[in-house]
Structure 1
Amino acid sequence: MRKFAVQLALLFVSCLALALAPVTAQAAPAFQVLAFYNGTYDPAHISFVKEANQWFPKTASQHNFGYTATNDWNRLNSLQPSQYQVVLFLDDLPQTSAQRAGFERYMNAGGAFLGFHVAAFTTDPSTWDWYHNRFLGTGAFKSNTWGPTTATLKVENRPHPSITRLPATFTSSVSEWYAWNRDLRKNPDIRILASVDPVSFPLGTDPNQSWYSGYYPILWTNAKYKMLYANFGHNRMNYETNQPLSSTFGSEVQNRFVIDGLLWLGGSKTS
């Protein structure tokens, strides 16, 4: 009986010590990401935004960065890299002069950027020459594939941290793909990281909106800035029910680019 009482007392002391022990603080996020979205146009883009705002927080917790999503684009007006080290454009781009000027200041001050799909779309690049012609280098939208499909992508620039874990070729997630009126290969500031592999042709399911040949960049960076652009972010949809039939984050290999790209943009070591 006495032995049992001693054991009980020891157990009580141990539990008390654990209860009074200081709680180890979680490591502060290595960097902060601010993701801008619209979320009101095209069910395929809306679907991408919804899944992005579920996938990125989970990924952030696994890789020690903070993630905040907002549809208040006016936050760009006075945004500083000290507040958020990386900015994402999920399904739109700044529309007002104050937003555009704020984003340009942010990038010139050392901020970082990752843009998806429609964030580069314009039919009139003269409305924001710096962004469309110099920063992204794309100029105007030229054509697209339809319907949304996977593509075989060819990795082109091995030394870049965002693609070091990618194989020479890989299958992308499903997307609609954009082409531009400017040849990015002729821009000395642009480094193309991946393009459509010719084995993908014909790319598209509509014969009138398919690519049969040519050169189509999909992932790239501008050497003058800490930035990446990814020409995916459009899910395949049942437009009668607005139900998604694919996931932009359905390719584990493609996800490596997103994760390693973000870690590079935020100043962390890639996996």
Structure 2
Amino acid sequence: MIRLLAMIGALMTPQAAPNPHLPKPSYDRTPPTLPPTLKPGAVLILSKTNGWRHIEHIPHSNEVIAGIAHDLGRTSFTTENAAVFDDALLKRFSVVVLNSASGDFMTPAQRAAFERFVARGGGVVALHAAGDNSHKAPWYVDTIIGTTFTGHPNGDDHIQSARMVVNQAAHPVMAGIPQSWTPKDEWYSFSHDPATRGMTVLASVDESSYRPGEKLAMGANHPMIWTNPRAKGRVVYSALGHTPESYDDPTYRRFLTNAIRWAAR
């Protein structure tokens, strides 16, 4: 009787609503059907999340990225289906944009197809949560990120204005970007400078221009945007892009345009 009453009580107790920022992890097995209008050299936009889901910016940023692809004269395909990481399907694309794709969202076979895509020269533009510490696969960490995310300010300091500084003004990804600009964002910190792992840092954040917090301070070198010159495909990562407004910033849109153009060769 006691057990029965307990079960009835549990059924009657209101259940907490699922947290939309933390969807139940899932793995896609059936590849999507690509549209017949997709042209060679297209842009794949993937925002699959098996980790933290940036519900605030993903819908808007997906639209902005698709618009940039269109302005570059390229068709695009936006999906949350990681089974698109298939050799035959990936051959339709010249660049993959990982738009805050988080968590372990690929099966081993899908990850292997992604590796082959990069090995044969496919480009990658990874944004914001595509570089957080929910990614564990060694190839991904080494090739796409090159460092480990350690956190960001929270509470009242969660979103702050800070001064971005260009480190490599001559790089095509930085073309037309001011030597310094002051966006508002969620400022990621990392365990070490990715340059120590062979990455080329293109832009950094000036820690004196915001409050990183003692445990998140990286010092004089606090990278935000870098490329991986060791990869056969062109790989660029940007830690910026937490808020929807980031994708309306003309400077950040210019960066995204440059990055997609450069990664797509």
**TM-score, with structure 1 as normaliser:** 0.72
Q: Residue in 2 aligned with 1:190? A: 199
1:85 is paired with a residue of what secondary structure?
strand
Unaligned runs of at least 5 residues, structure 1: 1-27, 236-245
Q: Residue in 1 aligned with 2:247? A: 249
Q: Residue in 2 aligned with 1:133? A: 142
Change (3 A) 1:63 1:134: closer
TM-aligned CA deviation for residue 143 of structure 1: 2.3
Change (3 A) 1:40 1:148: farther
**1:166 counterpart (162, 165, 177):** 177
Contact kept in structure 1, 2:40 and 2:93, CA below 8 Å: no
**Which amino acid in the other structure matches residue 58 of structure 1?**
G
**2:223 counterpart (217, 221, 233):** 217
How many percent identity over aligned positions? 24
Q: Residue in 1 aligned with 2:241? A: 233
TM-aligned CA deviation for residue 73 of structure 1: 0.2
In the TM superposition, what whole-angstrom CA distance separates every residue of 1:221-264 from its partner, at most 9, and x where no partner exists?
000230110102212xxxxxxxxxx5121321121111111111
1:47 is paired with a residue of what secondary structure?
coil
Aligned positions of 1:83-162 closer than 5 A: 83-93=92-102, 94-122=105-133, 127-138=136-147, 140-146=148-154, 147-162=158-173
Contact kept in structure 1, 2:62 and 2:99, CA below 8 Å: no
What is the total number of aligned residue pairs between the two structures? 221
2:48 is paired with a residue of what secondary structure?
coil
**TM-score, with structure 2 as normaliser:** 0.74
1:249 is paired with a residue of what secondary structure?
helix
Change (3 A) 1:169 1:132: same
Q: Which has the larger radius of gyration?
A: 1
TM-aligned CA deviation for residue 163 of structure 1: 0.2
TM-aligned CA deviation for residue 32 of structure 1: 0.8
Contact kept in structure 1, 2:47 and 2:58, CA below 8 Å: yes
TM-aligned CA deviation for residue 71 of structure 1: 0.7
1:69 is paired with a residue of what secondary structure?
strand
2:237 is paired with a residue of what secondary structure?
strand
**Which amino acid in the other structure matches residue 177 of structure 1?**
W
